[in-house]
Chain A
Amino acid sequence: MSDATTLDRPREAHRDTPQRPTAVVTGIGVAAPNGLGARAWWDAVLRGENGIRPLTRFDATSYPVRLAGEVPGFVAEDHVRSRLLAQTDQVTRLNLAVAKEALDDAEVDPADLPAYAAGVVTASSAGGFEFGQRELQALWSRGGQHVSAYQSFAWFYAVNTGQISILHGLRGASGVLVTEQAGGLDAVAHARRQLRKGSSLVVTGGVDSALCPWGWVAHVAEGRMSTSNDPDRAFLPFSADADGYVPGEGGALLVLEDARSARDRGARVYGSIAGYAATFDPPPETGGSRLGAAAELALADAGLTPEEVDVVFADAAGERAADRAEAQAICALFGERGVPVTAPKTMTGRLSAGGSSLDLAAALFSLRDQVIPPTTGTDRPADDCPLDLVTGAPRTGVRLRTALVLARGRGGFNAAAVVRA
């Protein structure tokens, strides 16, 4: 009798059962538009430093949108060996640099681990787009003989996972998830599943980049980007003036370890991935956002109540209807202005799959430093977004033990992760 109700409900995917070995984060690597390297980025975030600027990677003057978040000062040759330069897109080079930082930070040498104990699970939204554009141009303007043999994999979504795996000898269970902005959380959750199945360590998260004309027109065509030319006023999530997002490149990779093996090797622990859930939106004409359901299920997965959440890192679409939907979801769980909410991605733009894993890194550093990073740009939330939005300056003096990270990927993906100190 209750079958009909069950069938009508959107299926809640990927809800994991609790009471399994805890997944802890022991290493963090970051490449972001307001800082290359975890420390440089976090310092910039706490200073409220904006990484959104006029696009320099290619001449965007003839496009309707000209602002982006580019990772500053990234010299590929400093991070990637010559043999790999010829076969990698910018996105893979960034991934290799960030993975190295995360592994170094975790003070782990994969060579010391059993052969198949460690793997790589990343999220990717577009693979190696700039590389792909170049080779497609070669194909159509000069012919197939001019296409790089490396195009066979350099464009591919799984290429970052593959190259990290090869370089560091991480031959355990690995994979790639393609759920746009939700990917950074979905990948980490999948890594957690691999730990539960017996892996001891997974390099996971997302770092994305597609700042080339081909990638740009894909964003432009959707018509959801801000056309403002003022870097400080272009991306204003939850503001009454919100008028679209600014895209960027970068993200974060984490070293996720089984808590026991981390303890056994005396690793420093940033925190645990205590809960996670993903939902999928119904077609717009048949129902509303399922983001709130993802948050609720993630809390249930962590065995926590909303009262125990100390801060929420919002998806922060920067678009009126989507902002309202997220504010409603947050208020439904926590009440109006019931929990501090922040969106440090206002300083980076939306980084596709990199956005939500960067928010995980921000959440972990928040718990470590007992400080909530600010939302910049937006000075106060719109009346229809009754949130306790942390704006202007970092907020201190609040006890931070548990953070909730929300993400929405274009096409209807929702993900929520609960991070605990």
Chain B
Amino acid sequence: MTRFEITDLTALLRESAGADEGVDLDGEITDVPFDDLGYDSLALLQTTGLIERQWEVVLDEEAVSEARTPGQYLEVVNQALNARAAV
């Protein structure tokens, strides 16, 4: 089954919103708040749109907005992918 990995997320973040020069997105960032990574809600909105298009999945808007870290965000995406696979 397809899993959405942290490297998928960082690639899409870079593509849709760029990357803060002071942040190492390839480091251990799973539990680092998006705020500290330099991403605001609009950056995540933009990235969410890109994921939905590329992965042909619909993400729960509320769950996405509550995800504070990449780890929590990955969970939201993978839950949606699982739910889709289960249909």
> Residues of A with Cβ closer than 8 Å to B?
81-87, 145-146, 148-150, 152
A235 to B30, CA, bound (A): 58
Kindly list chain A residues whose C-beta atoms are within 8 Å of the C-beta of B45.
149
The answer to whether A83 and B53 have CB atoms under 8 Å apart is no
The answer to whether B21 and A145 have CB atoms under 8 Å apart is no
| Residue interface mask B48-86, A partner, CB < 8 A = 1 | 010011000000000000000000000000000000000
Q: How far is the CB of A340 from chain B (nearest CB, A)?
A: 48
12 A-B residue pairs with CB within 8 Å: A81-B21, A82-B19, A82-B21, A83-B17, A83-B38, A83-B43, A86-B18, A145-B49, A146-B53, A148-B46, A149-B49, A150-B46
The answer to whether A83 and B52 have CB atoms under 8 Å apart is no
The answer to whether A145 and B52 have CB atoms under 8 Å apart is yes
Kindly list chain B residues whose C-beta atoms are within 8 Å of the C-beta of A146.
49, 53
The answer to whether A83 and B49 have CB atoms under 8 Å apart is no
Kindly list chain B residues whose C-beta atoms are within 8 Å of the C-beta of A85.
18
Q: How far is the CB of B48 from chain A (nearest CB, A)?
A: 9
Q: How far is the CB of B63 from chain A (nearest CB, A)?
A: 18
Is residue B20 contacting chain A, with contact meaning CB distance below 8 A?
A: yes
Is residue B87 contacting chain A, with contact meaning CB distance below 8 A?
A: no
The answer to whether A83 and B46 have CB atoms under 8 Å apart is no
Q: How far is the CB of B36 from chain A (nearest CB, A)?
A: 13
Kindly list chain B residues whose C-beta atoms are within 8 Å of the C-beta of A145.
49, 52-53
The answer to whether A149 and B38 have CB atoms under 8 Å apart is no
Kindly list chain A residues whose C-beta atoms are within 8 Å of the C-beta of B49.
145-146, 148-149
Known: A145-B52, A146-B53, A149-B49. A82 touches B18 (CB 8 A): yes
Q: How far is the CB of A200 from chain B (nearest CB, A)?
A: 29
A260 to B33, CA, bound (A): 45
Q: How far is the CB of B18 from chain A (nearest CB, A)?
A: 4
A85 to B38, CA, bound (A): 14
> Which one of B17, B21, B52, B53 contacts A86 once the chains associate, using CB atoms below 8 Å?
B17
A190 to B78, CA, bound (A): 52
A171 to B16, CA, bound (A): 27
Known: A146-B53, A149-B49. A81 touches B42 (CB 8 A): no
Return the chain B residue nearest A84 by Cβ.
Answer: B18
A84 to B42, CA, bound (A): 12
Besides the known contacts A82-B20, A82-B21, A146-B53, 18 further A-B residue pairs in the complex with CB atoms under 8 A apart: A82-B18, A83-B17, A83-B18, A83-B19, A83-B38, A83-B43, A84-B18, A86-B16, A86-B17, A86-B18, A86-B46, A87-B17, A87-B42, A145-B49, A145-B53, A146-B49, A149-B46, A150-B46
Q: How far is the CB of A93 from chain B (nearest CB, A)?
A: 13
A149 to B16, CA, bound (A): 10
Kindly list chain A residues whose C-beta atoms are within 8 Å of the C-beta of B19.
82-83
Q: How far is the CB of A3 from chain B (nearest CB, A)?
A: 53
Kindly list chain A residues whose C-beta atoms are within 8 Å of the C-beta of B52.
145
Q: How far is the CB of A84 from chain B (nearest CB, A)?
A: 7
| Residue interface mask B16-29, A partner, CB < 8 A = 1 | 11111100000000
A83 to B45, CA, bound (A): 14
Q: How far is the CB of B52 from chain A (nearest CB, A)?
A: 7
A81 to B17, CA, bound (A): 11
The answer to whether A81 and B46 have CB atoms under 8 Å apart is no
